[in-house]
A and B are shown apart, each in its own frame.
Chain A
Amino acid sequence: MSFWNSSRSGGLVALALVIALLPLTFPNTYFFNVAILIGLNAIVCIGLNLLIGYAGQISLGHAGFFGLGAYVAAILSSNHGVPPLAALLLAALLVGVLAFAVARPIMRLKGHYLAMGTLGLGIIIAIVLNQEVGLTGGPDGMPVDSFSLLGWQPYGDRIWYWIVGVLLLATVWLALNLIDSPVGRALRALHGSEVAAAAAGINVVRFKVLVFVTSAILASLAGSIFAFYTGFITPGEANFFHSLELVAMVVLGGLASIYGALIGAAILTILPQLLTVFHDYEMMMLGLIMMLVMIFMRKGLVPTLANLLWRRGS
């Protein structure tokens, strides 16, 4: 099997072990709760890193897709009796179609313009979720019926921990596959030079749209699971601040690093839990972290540390 002799397998086995053994160190369910949030953020960030780190396209609106995934799944399952799994898949499909529809015009933009375009998109989604009170409950949020599949209901943080753990492992595996494939090479190539990528026959717009839609669907899936897990969602999940938080996780962990996205998500999810002062000044702290990373570690934590280790080893 190609799985076992590829260099990827080492990291995946290590990650699987961490996920499997971590609960042994958890003194109470609160830790499961934090770990689940880390896992969900990491799934979004891995998708976002495909877009930002590998393909070199910025998005400041991905919380919009997360929020939309949460709300569509919640509304379909809680208000319309759609089976939760079907609701989750329908939400992903809807977000995928929306991302595809806006990607073609938006992905023609570059740099600051792309940032503004995606920012606008995220804000529009957040406004709709806030204003459509009849549908979403407005700023007060809405309760979500619990998840069930053929009569089985995952109940409690432990079960959700394993669900999210398996999904995270699958996401990492698929993302690593994609990067190390002709599709991944095309994405990295258009990051390196769009004209040269096109001259090599790479349909630049098509691949940008592809990676944008892929990352949006991952955000939507994570959002839907978040909705079913917490049982209550607010439009805050879709707001600009959450988008910025996601980008900060990607940048801190390391652009163009799948494990970096995971580490970044872990750090920025844990930090507010540890420091209440972080919670009060979250915006400021995020800004500070972004600045420090940009000044001292432009590649982000994981690539910088990997470089150091590699240099010391040789």
Chain B
Amino acid sequence: MTLLQVDDMSKAFGANQVIEGLSFGVSPGAIHSIIGPNGAGKTTLFNLITGIYRADRGRVLFDGRDVTALQPHELAKCGISRTFQNLQVFLNMSALENVMAGMHLHSDHRFWPSLFHLPMITRRDRELAEEARRLMAFVNLEDYLDAHASAMPYGALKRLEIARALATKSKLMLLDEPAAGLNPSETRAIDGLIQKIAESGVTVILVEHDMRLVMGVSDHILVLEGGRKLAEGTAGEIRHNPDVVAAYLGESARKQ
């Protein structure tokens, strides 16, 4: 049984074929990593799965349902959440409101009750704020409960995005380079956080350049090169796959 199934997907930007005939499946309850050199199509693949780009060919099945042509917000409703490689935090809001905005699907966002601030809106908002505080603690942001997002350091914003993605209560979370720009100790903390997320029952797909992080946390790795699947398997299999070693990991990985 697979949670996410990508079938024969292709995407080109002009003459540049970014994804070509790519198929793979993601089984529930594990950490899947997608690695590959720059330009291999990793972020494009994320944008295709989350509906930001429309594939030229191919299908995406999520939870047994064809979700290929859905809009980003509809995919969020299906249970897919994500973070962004270049931060997309709502810098015009407080940290807590960022997480609460992530709970949009679980909030009562009807116009008229909101306009008159009916008691049900206030009550539900108080519950959401409580839950948002719990989520911020879950990602170790308890020091920023009252902070404005624009006043937070980079590393904290990375985790705030993860908290916001968690707030959607998705079944599948796509993390686009969560460790990029972090120092080694912050990266180790993200490592632990990703495992905690997976243990909470959320399936994780990870795109990451930090090989130590990828090899440490991944149950399954997909290697892309030039928009095609180069290899697939466990961390051990990938590490010893000669194609992968030649194309991507290089000599340093074999020594580890």
Q: Which A residues form the contact surface with B (CB < 8 A)?
A: 2-3, 174, 177-178, 180-186, 188-189, 191-193, 195-204, 210, 256
Contact = CB atoms under 8 A, between A and B. Distances in A.
Given A189-B93, A196-B89, A199-B81, A182 B164 contact: no
Given A189-B93, A196-B89, A199-B84, 4 more contacts: A182-B125, A195-B52, A200-B104, A256-B92
B77 A201 contact: yes
A83 to B, nearest CB: 25
A177 B101 contact: no
B27 interface: no
A204 B52 CA distance: 13
B179 to A, nearest CB: 19
B240 interface: no
A209 to B, nearest CB: 11
B72 A195 contact: yes
Interface string B31-50: 00000000000000000001
Given A174-B115, A177-B114, A199-B72, A186 B90 contact: no
B71 interface: yes
Contact of A204 (B73, B116, B121, B165): B73
B104 A174 contact: no
A255 to B, nearest CB: 10
Interface of B: 50-52, 71-73, 76-77, 81-82, 84, 88-93, 97, 100-102, 104-105, 107-111, 114-117, 119, 121-122, 124-125, 161, 164-165, 167-168
Contact of A201 (B73, B88, B110): B73
A192 B91 contact: yes
Contacts of B117: 2-3, 177, 180-181
A198 B71 contact: yes
Given A185-B93, A189-B90, A256-B92, A202 B101 contact: yes
A214 to B, nearest CB: 8
A133 to B, nearest CB: 39
Nearest to A255: B92
A249 to B, nearest CB: 21
A200 B156 CA distance: 19
8 contacts: A188-B101, A189-B90, A189-B104, A196-B89, A197-B90, A201-B73, A201-B77, A204-B73
Contact of A192 (B89, B100, B114, B122): B89
B92 A198 contact: no
A256 to B, nearest CB: 7
Nearest to B99: A200
Contacts of B89: 192-193, 196
Given A201-B73, A202-B104, A210 B111 contact: yes
B111 A196 contact: no
Contacts of A183: 109-111, 114-115
A197 B52 CA distance: 12
Among A3, A174, A183, max chain B CB count under 10 A is at: A183
A192 B148 CA distance: 13
A90 to B, nearest CB: 20
A200 B76 contact: yes
A256 B148 CA distance: 15
B116 A174 contact: yes
Contacts of B121: 181-182
Closest A-B pairs by Cβ, 3 of them: A192-B90, A201-B76, A181-B114
Given A181-B125, A210-B111, A198 B76 contact: yes
A188 B77 contact: no
Contacts of A191: 90, 92
Among B81, B97, B105, B111, max chain A CB count under 10 A is at: B111
Contacts of B110: 183
Contacts of B84: 195-196, 199
B122 A186 contact: no
A202 B167 CA distance: 13
Contacts of B111: 183, 210
Contact of B90 (A178, A180, A188, A204): A188
Contact of B88 (A174, A195, A203, A204): A195
Contacts of A200: 73, 76, 81, 101-102, 104-105, 164, 167-168
Contacts of B72: 195, 198-199
A201 B100 CA distance: 12
B141 to A, nearest CB: 17
A186 B73 CA distance: 12
Nearest to A1: B119
Given A195-B52, A195-B72, A185 B122 contact: no
B13 to A, nearest CB: 17
B97 to A, nearest CB: 6
Contacts of A182: 100, 104, 107-109, 114, 121, 124-125
A199 B166 CA distance: 12
Among A174, A196, A256, max chain B CB count under 10 A is at: A196
A199 B93 CA distance: 17
Contacts of B91: 192
Nearest to A196: B88
A188 B101 CA distance: 9
